[in-house]
Amino acid sequence: MIRGILGALIGGEIDRRDGNGGLKGAAIGMIASRLIPRLGPFGLALGGAYVAKKAYDRHRAAKTPI
């Protein structure tokens, strides 16, 4: 269940960045959700670093006046 949620979040982020939506984000999200747990602690650190960077970038974008 958590794997499906993780895949959906990753796929949604890819679709949001790409703008086209569809199969590409779903496929990459599914592959990533199956690959990250197999990497063990390294995969956990890699995923955590990615989430932290995305949160930091969004925080900086919200603070910067347009």
State mean pLDDT over 30-55: 80
* Beta-carbon-side half-sphere exposure of residue 39 (alpha carbons within 13 Å): 13
Residue 2 — very low, low, confident or very high, per pLDDT cuts 50/70/90?
low
Question: Is the pTM value of this prediction over 0.95?
Answer: no
Sorted by where each begins, the domain ranges of the chain are: 2-63
